[in-house]
Structure 1
Amino acid sequence: MSLRTRIASLLVGLSLVLVATMYAVLKLVVLPTFTSLEQDLESLSNMACDWAAWDDTYEYLADRNERYAAVNLVSDTFINAHLNLICLLDCNRRVVWGEVHRDETGDLEPVPDLFAAVQDQSCPLSHHDSADDSQEGVVVTSCGHMLVASRPIVTTKRQGPIRGALLMGRFLHADEIRDLASRTHVRLQSWTIGQEALPPEAQRVVDRRGPPNKAYIETVDAQTLHAYRTVYDVYGKPALLLRVAVPREVTAHGAVAARVATACSFLGGGLTLAATWLALHRAVVKPLGRMAAHAVKVGRSGDLRTRLNFRRNDEIGALADQFDSMVEHLAQYRQKLQESAHRSGMEEVASEVLHNVGNAVNSAICSTEALRESLAASKAAGLGRAAALLREQGPHAAAFFAADPRGPKLIDYLIALDDSLQAELAEQRAEADRLLAVVCHIRDVVAAQQAYTGQAEYRQETSLAALVDESLMLNREALSAHGVAVSVDLPELPDLLLSKTKVTQVLVNLVRNAIEAMQEQPMAERKLAISAHLTADQGIEIEVTDTGHGFTEEVREKLFMHGFTTKPTGRGLGLHYCANAVLGSGGAISGDSPGPCRGATFRIRLAQVVPEPIPAA
C-alpha cells in the first residue's frame, strides 16, 4: 500500500468517526424535540380525520341538525381532546360551525382573524382535492400561534362527494411549550417571527434563511448547545422560531454516559493519535530523518560512495532509490569532470604559455632582425680590403705611405672605420642585451605558469613603474613601428606586493592589444596612456587607455571569455589569461568603451598590495 493511500485511509476513518458522533448527538438529542412538535401535528390530523370521516359529521354539513352540535360540539369535547379550535367549513369555504376555547376554563375565545383566514380563498386548509387529502401547519393568530390540522368531510367509508373541511387546532402557548419541553427533557423557547423582537443570536438564525424544517446547531459554551428550527405557516412563510437548549448532561444517566463517552473519546483519540504517530513515525518521519542525515553527511564529507539502500515499495522507497541513483550519477560526473578539468587545465596552461612565449619571441625576433640588418650594413668588409692592401704593400710600407697617395687616405679610412665599428659594436651589444632580457622574460613566463598551475602565488615587493617600463620595452618595436605616442602617469608609490611575472604579462598583453586596436586610426591619433592610483583598501588600480576602435556593450560582456576575439587572426587567449591571472591574485579586471571608434580603457584592481609599515623597535 502506498504512503498516500495509508494517510488517506487514516484521515477518512477519523472523519467518519467525527461525522458519526455529530450525527448521534443530532439524532438522539436534538431532533426528537422537533419531532415531538411534528407528532403533535400528526395527532391533530388523525383526530380531525376521525371526526371528518364520520357519517354524523357528513350529515350535519347537509342538514345542520341541532342534535349533532349539542352532543359533540360542546366544551367537554375541547377539554377532553385538549383542543382549542373546532371548525367546520362547507364546500364554499364558509364557516358552518366554529369556536375557539381557552385551555384553562374552556371558555370561548374570540379570534375573528382566524376564521377570516380559513375562509380566504388562498388558505390551503379549507380546500381538499381527495378524500384522503390532509393539510397541517401553523397559523399565526392574534392570540398566538396555533397548530392546525384539516381533513375533508366525507362518509365513514371515505366516500364523497366532499362536503367541506373539518379543522382542529391547538395553541402553542407557554404551557404547551413547557409540556413539549417536559416530554423531551430539554429547555425549549419559542419566538414569533415578525411580531416580537428576537435576541441577536436568534435573529442571526432567521437571517440565514436555511432550508425548511432543517435544524441549525450552535455551540454556546462548554456546557450547552443551542439547536434552532424555523417553523413555517400554512402559507410557507416563517412563523415560529424554536430553540432547544441541549445540556451536555441531560440526565444523571446521560451525564455518566457523557463522561464515559468523553473518556472513551479521549482514550480513543489518544490511542488514535498514538497509532497515527507511530505509523507516521515508522512510515514517514524516521525514513525521512535517515534521508536527511544521509544528505547532510554526503554534503559535508563529499563522500559519494555511501548509499541509503532502502527496501520499500512506497513513495519514500522510490525517493530513496532516486536519491541513491542521483548520488551514483553525481559520482560518475565528478570523476568525468575531474578528468576533463585536468585535461582542460593542461590545455589552457599550454595555450597561455605558448601565447605569452609567442609575444616574447616576437620581441626576440625583432631584436634578431635588427642585429642581422646591423651586420649586413657593417663596415667590416672595408676593413678586409684595407688589410689586403697592407699585406700587398707590406715590404714597401714606408715607401707606400710616403709616396703613394693612397697611404694617407688608408690611415684616415682606418680611423673612420674604427669609429664606425665601435658604434656598431655598441648598438649590437644593446640589441644583445635586449635579446637576453627577452629570453629571460620567456624563462620567467614559463616559471610563472608552472607556479600558477601547481603552487601558491608568490608575491614580492617590486616597483610598479619598473613593471610598466618593462611592458613598454617588450612592446617597443611595435610601438615605434606604429607611431604610438605613450604617456605614463604614476604617482609616487612604494614598492608593492605584486606577482611580478603576472602583472608584467598582463600589462604586456594589454599594451599589445591597444597597439593592434589603433592600427586603423590616423597616425596622429594613436595614443596610449597608462596611469595608476591607490585605493581605500590599500590596493592599486591600474588603467590602460587607448584611442583605438573601441567596442560595444555586447562585446564588453564577452571580452574575457575563453576563445572570444574580435581580431581576424586572434585566438581569444590574451584577455582570458589576463582575467585568470588577475582573479588568481585576488583582484578584478574590467574593460569599458564609450563606443565603437572611441577608444577603450582597461582597469586592473588589486587589493592589499601596499606593504604594512615595519613597526619601530
Structure 2
Amino acid sequence: ERRRRAELETVEIRFRVATRAARAGVYERDESGGTVWWSDTMNELYGVSAGNFQPTLSGWLELIHPADRDGARAAMTAAMRERKPLRTQYRAVRPDGSIAHLESVAAVVGDPAGEGVRMVGIDLDVTERVAAQRREVLLQQQLRDASRQAGMADVATSVLHNVGNVLNSVNVSANLVADSLKRSRAAGLTRVVALLEEHQGDLGSFVAHDARGKVLPVYLAELSRHLSADNSNALQELDALRGNIDHIKDIVTMQQRYAKLGGAAEPIDVGRLVEESLRINASAFERHAIEVVRRFADVPQITVDKHKVLQILVNLLRNAKDACDAAGERERRVTLSVGRCATGVRVAVADNGVGIAAEHMSRIFTHGFTTKKTGHGFGLHSGALAAKEMGGVLRVESPGLGCGATFVVELPLGPPGNAHG
C-alpha cells in the first residue's frame, strides 16, 4: 500500500511538473456544470487563486471575454450533448485586465458511477502563438504592399524609359524643322520681290531684255520647287512631332490610370490589356530591334485587378527584352500568346533570348534571386505573388541556356471564391 501511494505521488508530481512546464491547465466538469475541478495551473492561466475563486461553470464563463463567451458556452454544451471531443479557442480576461488567448481541448467520458458523463480536458496558453500568427499576417501584408509598390515602380520605370525614348524622337523632329527653316530659300523670294518692285514700271522690258530679268522665271520655278519640298518636309516632321507628343500623352494617361493601389476587380479585355503593356514597352522594343509576334485567340473577359495584371505583363516584357539583348546580335523575337486554359485565360510571353539554366529554374520566383547584374530580384517574385492573390499562377518554361524562355500567367475568369463557367 505504501509503495502504491509513493508511486501515485510520483505520478502526480510528474503530472504537475509537465503541465506547469507546458502552461497547460487541467479541468474536469460534470454534466450539470455545477461541479468543476481544475488544477493550480488553471488558476495561473486565468489569473486567479484558490483563495479568491471557486471554480464553477458560471464562474469560469465569467472569466471568458464577453465577445467569446457565448461561443465557448455553445461549444462546451454541444460537446457534452453529442458526446464528441471539444476543441475551441477563446480569450480570458484576467482580474488585472490582461488578455490571455487559450485553447481548450477535452474529451467527454462516462462517469465512473454510471451517472451521466464528464468532460475532462486541458487549457493551453496560446497567447504567444496568436501573437506570432498576427505578426506573420502583418509581415505578409507588408510583403504584398512592397510587392505591389515594386510592381508600380516597374510600370513607372518603363513609362519613364519610353517617355525618354519618345522625347528623343521629339527632339530629332524639332531639330530637323529648325534646320529646315534655317536653310530655307524663302529669303530668295524676298530678294525677288524687291527686284520686281524696283522694276514695276518696266517689268515687261526688264524680264525680256535685262540679264537678271531673263533668269527670273527659271529662278522662281526652281525656288517654288524647293519651297514646296521644304514645306512638305516640315509638315511631315510636324506630323511626327504631333504623333510623338500624342504618344507621350497616351503613356502618361495610361500610367495615371494604373498608378494607384489596386484591389478592385473589374472586367477586362485580356488582349487589349496585353496591347497596352506592349505600348508601354514599345519604344524600348523598337530601339532594340525586337520583333513582336502576336498570337491572340478569342477569350472571354476576366474579372481581376487590372493593375496587378499590367504589373505582371510589363515586367515579363521587360525581362524578355533584356533576355534578347543578352543573347547577342542574333535576330530578336518576342511572341505573345493569349488563349484559354483549364482554369480560365492564359497569357504567354516567349522570347528567343539567353534562356535559363536548369539549376536556376526552381529559384526563378524566389525573392532576391536574379541572373541580371542590375536586377533586384523582386519583379518575378512580386508578379508570382500578384498572380496568386488573383487566384492564378505565374510559371516558367525554358529548355536551357541559349534556348529562350516562356513565362506563362494563368488567371481565373473571376476573383477567387467566385464560380465561373
Equivalent-residue separation in structure 1 for 2:407 and 2:101 (angstroms): 53
With over 3 angstroms needed to count, the CA separation of the structure-2 counterparts of 1:350 and 1:545, relative to structure 1, is: closer
Q: 1:529 maps to which residue?
A: 335
2:220 and 2:397 map into 1 onto residues whose CA distance is 70
- Cα–Cα, structure 1 residues 302 and 432, in superposed 2: closer, same or farther, change >3 Å? farther
Give, in angstroms, the shift of residue 380 of structure 1: 5.3
Structure 1 residues 300, 445: CA separation in 2 closer, same or farther (over 3 Å shift)? farther
Q: 1:361 touches 1:438 (CA, 8 Å); kept in 2? A: no
Structure 1 residue aligned with 2:413, among 598, 608, 611?
608
- Aligned match of 2:254 in 441, 446, 456? 441
C-alpha displacement of 1:393: 4.7
The CA RMSD over aligned residues, in Å, is: 4.3
The separation in 2 between residues aligned to 1:360 and 1:494, in whole angstroms, is 28
Match for residue 355 of structure 1?
154
Which of structures 1 and 2 has the larger relative contact order (alpha carbons within 8 angstroms, sep 6+)?
2
Deviation at 1:503, TM superposition (A): 2.3
The runs of 5 or more residues in structure 2 that have no matched partner are: 13-35, 47-59, 73-86, 103-121, 200-211
1:590 to 1:361, Cα distance in 2 relative to 1, 3 A = same
Compared with structure 1, are the counterparts of its residues 402 and 575 closer, same or farther at alpha carbon in structure 2 (3 Å cutoff)?
A: farther
Question: Are 1:377 and 2:205 an aligned pair?
Answer: no
Deviation at 1:426, TM superposition (A): 1.5
User: How far did 1:388 drift?
Assistant: 3.7
| Cα displacement string for residues 203-261 of structure 1 (whole angstroms, at most 9, x for unaligned residues) | xxxxxxxxxxxxxxxxxxxxxxxxxxxxxxxxxxxxxxxxxxxxxxxxxxxxxxxxxxx
* From 293, 296, 320, the counterpart of 1:514: 320
Inter-partner Cα distance in structure 1 for 2:357 and 2:367: 18
CA contact (8 A) 2:151 2:312 kept: no
Which residue among 590, 594, 597 is the counterpart of 2:399?
594
**Counterpart Cα distance in 1 of 2:101 and 2:215:** 113
Partner Cα distance (1:303, 1:341) in 2: 28
Work out the CA distance in 2 between the residues paired with 1:337 and 1:414.
73
Q: Which residue of 2 aligns with 1:367?
A: 166
Aligned 8 A contact 1:457 1:585 in 2: no
Please, which of 418, 428, 433 is the counterpart of residue 231 of structure 2? 418
Tell me the residue number matched to 1:260. none
How far did 1:504 drift?
A: 2.9
Whole-angstrom CA distance in 2 between matches of 1:9 and 1:367: 87
Q: Which amino acid aligns with 1:386?
A: R
Aligned-pair CA distance for 1:367: 0.5
Indicate how the Cα distance of structure 1 residues 303 and 518 shifts in structure 2: closer, same or farther if over 3 A, else same. Answer: farther
Cα separation, partners in 2 of 1:382 and 1:525, compared to 1, 3 Å: closer
Is it true that 1:458 corresponds to 2:265 in the alignment? yes
| Mapping for residues 147-166 of structure 1, pairs under 5 Å | none
Gaps of 5+ in 1: 13-280, 310-318
Whether the 8 Å CA contact 1:587–1:606 is kept in 2: the answer is yes
Counterparts in 2 of 1:439 and 1:301: CA distance versus 1, 3 Å:
farther
Counterpart of 1:8?
8
Q: Deviations over 1:548-605 (max 9, x none)?
A: 2222344222222332211101112221232232122221111122222222111111
Check the 8 A contact 2:290/2:332 in 1, yes or no: yes
Deviations 1:433-468 (A, max 9, x none): 211111112212312xx2x2xxx4221242x22222
- Match of 1:475? 281
Which residue is equivalent to 1:561?
A: 366
CA distance in 1, matches of 2:277, 2:162: 11
Between Structure 1 and Structure 2, how many residues are aligned?
Answer: 321
- Tell me, in whole angstroms, the C-alpha distance in 1 between the residues paired with 2:390 and 2:91: 28
Higher mean alpha-carbon deviation, 430-439 vs 593-602, is at: 593-602
Identity over aligned pairs, percent: 22
* Alignment TM-score, normalising by the size of structure 2: 0.63
SS of residue in 1 equivalent to 2:99: coil
Matching of residues 23-38 of structure 1 within 5 Å: none
Contact conserved, 1:460 with 1:496, CA < 8 A, in 2? yes
What amino acid is the match of 2:177?
S
Measure the CA separation in 2 of the matches of 1:426 and 1:517. Answer: 34
Change (3 A) 1:555 1:388: same
Query: Highest Rg: 1 or 2?
Result: 1
Q: 1:523 and 1:301, CA in 2 relative to 1: closer, same or farther beyond 3 A? A: farther
